[in-house]
Amino acid sequence: MIAIIKYNAGNIASVKNALDRLGYPCIVTDCESDILNADKVIFPGVGEASSAMQYLQKRNMDVLIRSLKQPVLGICLGQQLMCAHSEEGDVDCLNIFDARVRKFPPEDIVPHMGWNNLQQTRGQLFSEIRGDEDYYFVHSYYCELSEETVAVCDYILPFSAAMQKDNFNAVQFHPEKSAASGTKLLLNFLQL
């Protein structure tokens, strides 16, 4: 069973729809035992960092997420919340990745919205995926490059498009909305 963490950041339905299409049983849940017992955990999210962190802390879900031992995949805001700190609402985050989240400088159109290719992909998430595939991004804040970066995207500046440390994986783009290339990446995660 795959657990999709339910919290105050939507559009979680699209992740569930993607897993349904791939035939993987999943539940959208905020129940601690469901999450702890899941084979894999997806931490999705579209929303604002400081209110999302507040929500998680109030329910002790920050501690729960950090303690997970099974493969975890953060998506979009999920990846940002797994970093050390976000400029969005000036908030300390889960500190799984040793990177900060910053706002894009207004040197080009913000949000970074649309399809962009990755560079320097590595690791199991990108196994047997061409290095220059396009994925769908939509975000105004970005995760800095760090030791945990496993894919780089360039928009205004180079940033972490994907990160990985131990069992924690994360992507800034939306694999569930990235057509065939996103499906391949989700399958790679589901087969970890």
Give the interface with another protein as residue ranges (CB under 8 A): 10-11, 13-14, 17-18, 20-21, 46-48, 106, 109-117, 134, 136, 138-140, 154-155, 174, 176-180, 182-183
Minimum distance from CB of 109 to another protein (Å)? 6
Q: Please confirm, yes or no, whether 176 is among the known catalytic residues.
A: yes
Give bridge partners of residue 141 from the DSSP assignment: 103
Minimum distance from CB of 179 to another protein (Å)? 5
Angle at CA of residue 164, ends 160 and 45, nearest 5°: 70
End-to-end CA separation in angstroms for the chain: 14
Compute the Cα dihedral for 26, 27, 30, 31 and give only its sign: negative
- Angstrom distance (rounded) from CA 60 to CA 63: 6
Minimum distance from CB of 37 to another protein (Å)? 27
Alpha carbon distances (Å) from 87 to 72, 100, 103: 24, 8, 7
Q: Please confirm, yes or no, whether 76 is among the known catalytic residues.
A: yes
Q: Closest by alpha carbon to 99, among 192, 188, 161?
A: 161
Whether the CB-CB separation of 185 and 17 falls below 8 Å is answered with: no
Q: Please confirm, yes or no, whether 85 is among the known catalytic residues.
A: no
- Angstrom distance (rounded) from CA 125 to CA 131: 11
* Residues tagged active-site: 76, 174, 176
